Amino acid sequence: MIERDRLSVEEGARIHADLEAALATGEGILAAAGSALDAVQAVVVALEESPRFNAGKGAVYTADGAHELDASLMEGHSRRAGAVAGVRTVRNPIALARAVMDHSPHVLLVGAGAERFADTQPQIARVDNAWFDTRTRHAQLLQEQARERQAQAVSLKGAYFGTVGAVALDLHGHLAAATSTGGMTNKRYGRVGDSPLIGAGTWADARVAVSGTGWGECFIRCAVAHDIAARMAYGGACLEEAAEAVVMQAVPALGGDGGAIAVDVQGNIAMPFNTAGMYRGWIARDGSRGTAIFGA
């Protein structure tokens, strides 16, 4: 969980700087008339490379002390999508998700099969699983395991930090969304959350692009990303109403928590969250920009 009293001023400043650098990467691509898809991928790669977010280098630990990474992306106007789950040696899982979209007839590849597919893609950087080790995440694993022993129960609620995502609208009027995560600390048995599931953690169509973060089991059961799009398509809701209804009502109604980022084809942005904070950054159509961690 992101909590105000646990975040030092210095660490907060580093997070803002990483968010701003990632935004600038996406901005450069969009300003040069690049695609929303390329922009969201590049932004997510930048965030995967930072140890401060739960994706790529900063991925959390599984119960057996390893890292299993999930990622997905989707392009709105073409409805093309790619995703991977449970990968262990892929430095940038979002790049492998893109390769699944571009170079395979499939949408979602998992585990050993996804690794074998990565073997056929020379552009995909590979690392030992231990490359993802960080002291901070290891301390979080030990803390979570101690909490679990004390509670004598298995619970993942609250055991996640900082999945990354990006949504973009390009100069051609096209939308895209991308999401990448290490999942939840102390996860077992090949557990996969919402992030690599199209419709749950990621969605894009001609109207809206959405990326979510939160307790994945609830996000799957609410089909969060697609539900936001569906409320707009079938219910006539505007982006803000749709995103608020799903994140502030539907997810908490199942006992879940988290947030989402979304952009619609008019360039409206929504970033609701029902937790104390959610790392986020934005550049609006009028050029106004910002990064933030906590609520008002």
Which of 189/234 has CB closer to ligand ASP?
Answer: 189
Query: Any contact of residue 194 with ligand ASP (CB under 6 A)?
Result: yes
Q: Which of 92, 180, 181, 202 binds ligand ASP (CB under 6 A)?
A: 181
179 is catalytic: no
Residues 222, 252, 159, 81, Cα dihedral to 10°:
30
Can you name the residues that pair with 71 across neighbouring β-strands?
Answer: 84, 180
Spatial separation of the C-alpha atoms in residues 190 and 62, rounded to whole Å? 9
Query: Any contact of residue 193 with ligand ASP (CB under 6 A)?
Result: yes
The residue among 284, 285, 267 whose CA lies nearest residue 208 is 267
Q: Which of 183, 199, 256, 281 binds ligand ASP (CB under 6 A)?
A: 183
Residue 101: CB minimum distance to ligand ASP, A = 20
Size of the site for ligand ASP (CB under 6 A): 13
Helix segments in the chain, DSSP class H? 9-31, 36-49, 93-103, 111-119, 135-151, 216-222, 224-235, 239-244, 251-253
Phi, psi of 70 (to 5 degrees): -125, 145
Residue 213: CB minimum distance to ligand ASP, A = 4
Site string for ligand ASP, 139-168 (x = CB under 6 A): ---------------------x--x-----
* Site residues (CB under 6 A) for ligand ASP, limited to 218-277: 219
Spatial separation of the C-alpha atoms in residues 79 and 184, rounded to whole Å? 28
Q: Which of 99, 184, 246, 250 binds ligand ASP (CB under 6 A)?
A: 184
The residue among 243, 295, 296, 201 whose CA lies nearest residue 2 is 295
**Burial call 243-277: b when 16+ CB within 10 Å, e when fewer:** bbbbbeebbeeeebbbbbbbbbbeebbbbbbbbeb
Round to the nearest angstrom and report the end-to-end CA distance of the chain: 17
Residue 56: CB minimum distance to ligand ASP, A = 13
Name the catalytic one among 163, 179, 181, 275.
163
Q: Which stretch binds ligand ASP (CB under 6 A): 83-91, 133-141, 214-222, 236-244?
A: 214-222
Residue 278: CB minimum distance to ligand ASP, A = 10
Residue 259: CB minimum distance to ligand ASP, A = 9
Under 8 Å between Cβ of 285 and 268: no
Provide the annotated binding site: 191-194, 213-216
- Binding site residues for substrate, as ranges? 191-194, 213-216
* Catalytically annotated residues: 163
